């Protein structure tokens, strides 16, 4: 679920729900996700604190918190890792097996659950400092992109995952953007010509914007997903896999027909991660 678009959709949904809510108590069920913040300081800052705002930076959720009896705002930094979820759950319901942190807000709990515990819920903002520009922001210019790609011998697909180049693209949208731009994922970053850089720049933005739009149309409070009872939930939309027009054009489609030319989509491994592409539509340099 969680690359930039999924986090953006989650932030938009959570913001009005959390706004103004006071944290009555904090239940830390897996201290690992707080790292490097200690259980003690985490609890101390957040107990009695109020949610005053919520924004996004790359794949991070930034909760603005006003601690009890203090004027100074703090930032609670959230990250979903690979399998993290955040949602509200009526108090008293059975907690999910992998609940990592539970904030009691009165009649309702705000849950951070994460099966693999790769995610974060921390007061330490250190991870944010090396992030590159937001792909949908004004700082992400074609010129910036071109300059950052120019020196690198690394394959362009791998380069797109570098969060200091541009922040928020993950493994799914890296493949999708390259397909959209018709550029081979194996092409060395420095080998992209001016036209390709511009095409890829546009494709990145297009792919992310469309994913946000798609996510915004999906009901987040559906029932019948097996767990069913959640008031709020963000996850893979149950109907997503059943839509005839596939939302994702290449990711996880190895062996299936390219939507443009019908050629079989190929899966390769780069930097120990899967890349999907059409060997015909995405040739080397041209």
Enzyme catalytic residues: 2-3, 59, 273
Q: Are 90 and 231 in contact (CB under 8 A)?
A: yes
Say what angle helices 142-150 and 194-217 make with each other, to 10 degrees: 120
- Per-residue tokens: 160: 């797109």
Residues in CB range of 25: below 8 A, 6 or more apart: 47, 103, 104
Closest-CA residue to 61 (of 105, 17, 116): 17
82 binds DNA (CB under 7 A): yes
Chosen residue from 69, 107, 153, 194 binding DNA by CB under 7 A: 153
* Three-state secondary-structure class, residue 75: strand
The answer to the question of residue 146 lying near DNA (CB under 7 A) is: no
Query: Shortest Cβ distance from residue 236 to DNA (Å)?
Result: 5
Residue from 161, 209, 212, 218 binding DNA (CB under 7 A): 161
Query: Under the criterion CB under 7 A, does residue 214 sit at the interface with DNA?
Result: no
Judged by CB under 7 A, the chain residues 228 through 247 that form the site for DNA are 236
Distance CA 254, CA 268 (A): 9
Q: Of the two residues 108 and 189, which places its CB atom closer to DNA in the complex? A: 189
Smallest distance, DNA to C-beta of residue 79, A: 6
Q: Is residue 8 close enough to count as binding DNA by CB under 7 A?
A: no
Instruction: By CB under 7 A, tell whether 176 contacts DNA.
Output: no
What whole-number distance in Å separates Cα of residue 148 and Cα of residue 161? Answer: 13
Q: Name the residues that contact DNA, by CB under 7 A.
A: 1-3, 6, 32, 58-59, 79, 81-82, 97-98, 115-118, 127, 151-155, 158, 161, 163, 170-172, 236, 271-274
């Amino acid at each position: 679920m969680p690359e930039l678009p999924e986090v953006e959709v989650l932030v938009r949904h959570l913001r009005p729900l959390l706004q103004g809510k006071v944290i009555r108590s904090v239940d830390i069920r897996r201290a690992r996700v707080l790292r490097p913040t200690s259980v003690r300081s985490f609890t101390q800052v957040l107990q009695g604190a109020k949610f005053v705002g919520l924004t996004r930076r790359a794949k991070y959720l930034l909760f603005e918190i006003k601690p009890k009896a203090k004027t100074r705002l703090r930032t609670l930094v959230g990250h979903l890792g690979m399998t993290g979820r955040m949602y509200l759950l009526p108090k008293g319901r059975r907690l999910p097996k992998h609940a990592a942190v539970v904030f009691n807000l009165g009649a309702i709990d705000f849950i951070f659950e994460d099966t693999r515990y790769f995610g974060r819920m921390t007061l330490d903002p250190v991870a944010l400092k090396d992030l590159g520009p937001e792909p949908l922001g004004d700082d992400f210019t074609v010129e910036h992109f071109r300059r950052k790609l120019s020196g690198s011998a690394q394959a362009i697909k791998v380069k797109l995952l570098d969060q200091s180049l541009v922040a928020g693209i993950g493994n799914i949208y890296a493949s999708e953007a390259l397909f959209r731009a018709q550029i081979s994922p194996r092409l060395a970053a420095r080998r992209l010509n001016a036209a390709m850089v511009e095409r890829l720049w546009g494709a990145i933005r297009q792919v992310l914007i469309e994913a946000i739009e798609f996510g915004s149309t999906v009901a987040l409070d559906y029932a019948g997903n097996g767990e069913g009872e959640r008031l709020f939930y963000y996850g893979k939309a149950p109907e997503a896999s059943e839509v005839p027009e596939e939302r994702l054009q290449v990711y996880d489609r190895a062996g299936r027909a390219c939507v443009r030319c019908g050629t079989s989509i190929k899966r390769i491994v780069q930097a120990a991660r899967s890349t999907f592409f059409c060997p015909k539509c995405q040739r080397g340099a041209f």
